[in-house]
């Protein structure tokens, strides 16, 4: 993509042809790069997250069918959806599977792999499990995993069995309703054992975020994986969500991938997005600078992943296809212009798509 220099742009003489403000910059909008389908270039599965409503959106279906070969339910295979009517045995009227079933059927019809997300997460389930103590809690914990992982046995290739076990600060494990009932490593070990019992074939992942952005958190996460493997947990893979901070130092993302690969397990880049915003009110970076930073960090991560041995390249999943599909562009989070994903709202390639294509090739 030709780099538009902001100063040159503003100094450029515009024909006084009554161009309106937006027209006069129309010619300045860089043309979208031409990028072959990502799944056709990558020597490993390329994925995206999906909501059941998207499976009936022709534009989304066409783009997904062209670009990816794997799907992750964005939220409808989580407790917040499945236990929306409460936990059976604890006042609930039953598990809700209509939306995740639609997603599983869509993936099957499209010939796409399905990655299950997520069985046990500190962020959900406290309300549904409230009031359960001791053996009743453990029984409900086991029964939930058996019901959900059992239902999708043969439909998912893998699961995020436990999501986000490490604290944001990064040097310890989260204390949550699961750890309070079963111990900090205990709930994770049990979740993996129950998931393995429910689905003998699925690749079972431990998944977390900021592992590249925060080296302390990355190290704590890998030490946890090692400890669980030594304890006999059937961990089959490491999930790095990779919601990238594009201002981290060069080399930091590749260093984490190298450290993660040293455990010998398959790696899933499970939720890549790379916001152009950094949350500070005084963000003076030009758009061009932000795109340069995003391209550099996403390129570094994608190249490090592509350089892994084939057996360790489980999949490379982006957390949405079009910028406007991103969780970062929903509700009050939406600034109306962030470009965290490979495609723009119209489904045309952003610079990120070209960066990924170059790295995967
Ligand atoms: O679509 C419904 C809408 O019909 C309803 O009116 C509205 C109000 O209840 O909810 C809408 O669903 C929301 C859904 O996103 C779709 O926008 C859910 O409430 C909301 O909880 C859900 O948020 C998801 C969030 O995880 C919590 O599950 C985001 O989409 C999803 O992107 C986000 O993904 C997480 C990963 O699972 C773990 N890693 C971090 C990542 C980003 O937070």
Q: Compute, in angstroms, the gap from residue 179 CA to the centroid of ligand 1.
A: 24
Question: Is the CB–ligand 1 distance for residue 334 below 6 Å?
Answer: no
Which contacts of 218-223 are long-range, i.e. CB under 8 A and separated by 24 or more positions? 218/170, 218/256, 218/259, 218/260, 219/170, 219/259, 220/166, 220/170, 220/171, 220/172, 220/173, 221/165, 221/166, 222/259, 222/260, 222/263
Q: Which helix (H) or strand (E) holds 107?
A: helix 98-110
CA distance 327 to 320: 8
Structural domain includes residue 210: yes
17-68 pLDDT tens trace: 333 444 455 556 678 789 999 999 999 999 999 999 999 999 999 999 999 9
Structural domain includes residue 17: no
The pLDDT assigned to 254 comes to: 98
Q: Compute, in angstroms, the gap from residue 33 CA to the centroid of ligand 1.
A: 31
Low-confidence ranges of the chain (pLDDT < 70): 1-29
The pLDDT assigned to 29 comes to: 66
Structural domain includes residue 18: no
Domain count, the chain: 1
Q: Compute, in angstroms, the gap from residue 115 CA to the centroid of ligand 1.
A: 17
CA distance 51 to 163: 19
Going by C-beta distance under 8 Å and a sequence separation of 6 or more, which residues neighbour residue 4? Answer: 28, 30, 288
Active-site amino acid positions: 164, 271
Domain of residue 313 covers 29-276+284-329+336-360
Q: Compute, in angstroms, the gap from residue 156 CA to the centroid of ligand 1.
A: 21
Structural domain includes residue 107: yes
Structural domain includes residue 59: yes
Question: Is the CB–ligand 1 distance for residue 199 below 6 Å?
Answer: no
Q: Is the peptide bond between 28 and the residue preceding it cis, with omega within 30 degrees of 0?
A: no
Structural domain includes residue 261: yes
308-355 pLDDT tens trace: 999 999 999 999 999 999 999 999 999 999 999 999 999 999 999 999
315-328 pLDDT tens trace: 999 999 999 999 99
Question: Is the CB–ligand 1 distance for residue 324 below 6 Å?
Answer: no
Nearest CA to ligand 1 atom 13: 75
Structural domain includes residue 39: yes
Question: Is the CB–ligand 1 distance for residue 122 below 6 Å?
Answer: no
Q: Which residue has the tokens 């339910």?
A: 73
Instruction: Indicate which CATH number applies to the domain containing 104.
Output: 3.20.20.80
Structural domain includes residue 317: yes
């Amino acid at each position: 993509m030709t780099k538009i220099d902001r100063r040159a742009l503003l100094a450029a003489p515009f024909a006084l042809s009554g161009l309106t403000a937006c027209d006069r910059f129309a010619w300045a909008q860089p043309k979208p790069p031409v990028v072959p389908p990502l799944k056709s270039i990558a020597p490993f599965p390329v994925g995206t997250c999906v909501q059941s409503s998207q499976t009936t959106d022709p534009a989304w279906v066409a783009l997904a069918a062209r670009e990816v070969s794997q799907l992750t339910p964005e939220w409808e295979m989580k407790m917040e959806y499945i236990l929306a009517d409460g936990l059976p045995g604890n006042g609930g009227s039953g598990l809700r599977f209509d939306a995740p079933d639609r997603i599983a059927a869509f993936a099957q019809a499209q010939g796409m792999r399905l990655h299950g997300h997520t069985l046990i997460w500190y962020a959900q389930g406290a309300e549904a499990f409230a009031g359960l103590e001791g053996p009743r809690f453990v029984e409900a914990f086991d029964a939930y995993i058996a019901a959900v992982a059992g239902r999708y046995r043969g439909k998912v290739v893998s699961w995020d069995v436990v999501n986000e076990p490490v604290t944001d600060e990064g040097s310890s494990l989260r204390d949550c309703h699961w750890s309070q009932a079963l111990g900090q490593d205990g709930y994770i070990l049990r979740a993996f054992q129950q998931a393995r019992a429910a689905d003998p074939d699925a690749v079972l992942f431990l998944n977390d975020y900021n592992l590249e952005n925060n080296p302390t958190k990355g190290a704590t996460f890998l030490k946890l994986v090692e400890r669980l493997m030594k304890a006999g947990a059937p961990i089959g893979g490491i999930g790095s969500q990779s919601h990238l901070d594009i201002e981290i130092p060069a080399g930091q993302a590749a260093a984490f991938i190298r450290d993660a690969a040293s455990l010998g397990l398959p790696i899933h880049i499970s939720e890549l997005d790379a916001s152009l915003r950094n949350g500070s009110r005084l963000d003076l970076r030009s758009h061009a600078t932000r795109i340069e930073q995003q391209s550099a960090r996403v390129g570094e991560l994608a190249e490090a992943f592509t350089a892994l041995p084939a057996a360790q390249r489980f999949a490379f999943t982006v957390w949405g296809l079009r910028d406007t599909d991103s969780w970062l562009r929903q509700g009050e989070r939406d600034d109306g212009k962030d470009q965290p994903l490979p495609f723009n709202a119209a489904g045309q390639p952003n610079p990120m798509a070209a960066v990924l294509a170059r790295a995967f090739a």
